Structure 1
Amino acid sequence: MKQTASQKIRLGIFVIIGLLIFIVAVYFIGDKQKMFGKTNHLKAVFNNVNGLQIGNNVRYSGVNSGTVRGINMINDSVIEVDMIIDKTLFSHIKKDAVAIIGSDGLVGSMIINIIPGKGISLPVEPGDEIKSLNRVRTDEMLNTLGITNKNAAHLTADLLEITSQINEGKGTIGLLIRDSTLAKDLKETMHYLKITGKLTTESVKKLNNLIGSLDNKNNVIGVMKDTAVANNIKTIVRNLDKSSTEINKVVSNLNATVINVKEGKGALNYLSNDPKLVLKIDSTMTNIKEASFRLNENMEALKHNFLFRSYFKKQEKAKLKEQKK
């Protein structure tokens, strides 16, 4: 069946539109994959790529900057990832930048995030290898989470046991909560501690006032701190020292005198050491006493004698007149 001209035109338009759509799709895909722009290679080494595939995006500080060009297995623990990065961004990526494998959202495809370094270094060159940071794998996270759950279960069981013992009044905390007598004793103890604290505070204030008053010149310590008083005390001490020296000399002289009295030939030695002389002096004193007694008797006799009686009467009258005056 022959085709009409209108059908041919329609077919041509459809083919042209399909080619345009294909070209636009290839352009957008190639632009996204950095296939048509100016790019340079950049490498990073990982222990585990976590499902990273060729064609996944590479981002620098959250900005799409390239794609994964190749994934090469160097050995059992080293995997090299080749990235193609927009050439205009090479001046911003420094040598201390760090590559991390992450995911695009919660369930998105894997991507490589390049994080800027903290130091000041030179920009990377094409073909350079930057540092990498291995991502924590899901199985490791699950293992850690399982261990954490077990520990939480043990802690919960221990906590339940402790709370049960507290509710039953066991242990110190249980006694404090359940025993009313102990609570009252503790309350009284805190009251007495409060009173003791107040008294201690007052004592400390008094002690501070006492220490502050030590500088006052009206008390003993204040006087001792006065330089004039200190000089006077020094003078007194010197005079006492000199006086003690003089006293020592006097004592020495007195000792020498006593020795001379005991051992010498003077009157003192004779008086102190001769017992006969003592007896003589004793008898002499006795005789003097008897003589004075007899003299008094004689004077009384004279008073009563008629020859001297008038004389003594005149003497007594004269004494009475003087006493009245």
Structure 2
Amino acid sequence: METTSKFAGRLGIFVVTGLALLTAGIFYIGKQKHLFNPVFNVNTTFKNISGLEVGNNVRFSGINVGTVENIRIINDTTVKVYMIVDKDVQQFIKTDSYIKISSDGLIGDKIANITQGSTNGRSISEGQHLHSIEPLETDAIIANLSKTGENATVISNELSEILHKVNSGNGTIGRLLHDSTIAENIGQTIRNLKRSSKGLDENMEAAKHNILLRGFFKKKEKTEKDKNNDKKARGKEDNSSIKTEKKETWKERRERKRLERKKKEEATAKNN
């Protein structure tokens, strides 16, 4: 009898605990699936939903506000996504809002993100269709990254090969860096050029004092002086001619005024 009572007590505790867990689970799932909150429907279309599934979250301003209720293939280029969203946020979602698919973290489930519309926009209604933005193709991005990585590897290998040749003294740059003979020859060539330039200046100076060439340099110097004197003389003549023209013009003006005064005096005398 006592054993039966203990068994019944344990069974009762187990049943009550199970019912409590079941009830809590139902409420939790209902809350997650928005089964107990007033909701409204919204839909959109994509060409590719990139792994979005029924039951995935719908977010607005980073908050879970609904779930994906249904996904239907309309044709070979259109997939329609139906969502249920909490009624409380309907007033904040505008008709110019749009929906895009993104990931919940780096490797998380896909989610449908509803963006914020304009502040003065009109709120959406029940069953409203919103525009969408096509998701980025992950496979295409990975392919491009892979191709970029391959190109970077090729470039890196080529640079390594070039540096190896330079360090080994191969090629023109390698020989210039490692062959001391070439560097010495270049330095010697520069010194020879400087020496030749200095020697040329000395030879020219000596030629000026040479008896046979002295006349040539003097004649050249005289010619340059004559040219300079001619330029100065032409400048003076031009200045003097300008002054003469100005002086003659002034004389003519004075004579004209004198004649005008004389004519006025003669006219006055005739009138009297």
Q: Is the counterpart of residue 149 in structure 1 residue 149 in structure 2?
A: yes
1:140 corresponds to? 140
Cα drift, residue 4 of structure 1: 5.6
Point out which structure has higher relative CO (alpha carbons under 8 A, 6+ apart): 2
2:23 corresponds to? 23
Contact kept in structure 1, 2:94 and 2:118, CA below 8 Å? no
- Identical positions, percent: 33
- 1:136 aligned counterpart, secondary structure: coil
Looking at CA atoms only, which structure, 1 or 2, has the larger radius of gyration?
1
TM-score (norm 2): 0.58
Looking at structure 1, the residues matched to 62 and 70 of structure 2 have their Cα atoms a distance apart, in angstroms, of 21
Whichever residue aligns with residue 48 of structure 1, its letter is N
Whichever residue aligns with residue 240 of structure 1, its letter is E
Moved more, 40-49 or 175-184: 175-184
Aligned counterpart in structure 2 of residue 241 of structure 1, from 226, 238, 249 = 249
Cα drift, residue 161 of structure 1: 4.3
2:127 corresponds to? 127
Q: Is the counterpart of residue 44 in structure 1 residue 52 in structure 2?
A: no
Looking at structure 2, the residues matched to 29 and 12 of structure 1 have their Cα atoms a distance apart, in angstroms, of 25
Count of residue pairs the alignment pairs up: 198
Q: Is the counterpart of residue 163 in structure 1 residue 163 in structure 2?
A: yes
2:84 corresponds to? 84
Looking at structure 1, the residues matched to 187 and 39 of structure 2 have their Cα atoms a distance apart, in angstroms, of 82
- 1:90 aligned counterpart, secondary structure: helix
Distance 1:153 1:236, change over 3 A: same
Cα drift, residue 174 of structure 1: 6.0
Distance 1:50 1:237, change over 3 A: same
CA displacement 1:147-182 (0-9 Å, x = unmatched) = 1122112322332344345544746x6687566469
Cα drift, residue 29 of structure 1: 0.3
In angstroms, what is the RMSD of aligned CA positions?
3.9
Distance 1:90 1:235, change over 3 A: farther
1:277 corresponds to? none
Looking at structure 2, the residues matched to 146 and 92 of structure 1 have their Cα atoms a distance apart, in angstroms, of 42
CA displacement 1:253-298 (0-9 Å, x = unmatched) = xxxxxxxxxxxxxxxxxxxxxxxxxxxxxxxxxxxxxxxxxxxxxx
- 2:75 aligned counterpart, secondary structure: coil
1:257 corresponds to? none
- 1:149 aligned counterpart, secondary structure: helix
Flag structure 2 segments of 5+ consecutive residues without an equivalent.
192-241, 255-272
Cα drift, residue 127 of structure 1: 1.6
Distance 1:117 1:236, change over 3 A: farther
Moved more, 124-133 or 13-22: 13-22
Whichever residue aligns with residue 26 of structure 1, its letter is I
Distance 1:176 1:239, change over 3 A: farther
CA displacement 1:19-64 (0-9 Å, x = unmatched) = 3322221111011111110111111222222222211111112211
Flag structure 1 segments of 5+ consecutive residues without an equivalent.
189-233, 247-325
- 1:59 aligned counterpart, secondary structure: strand
Whichever residue aligns with residue 248 of structure 2, its letter is L
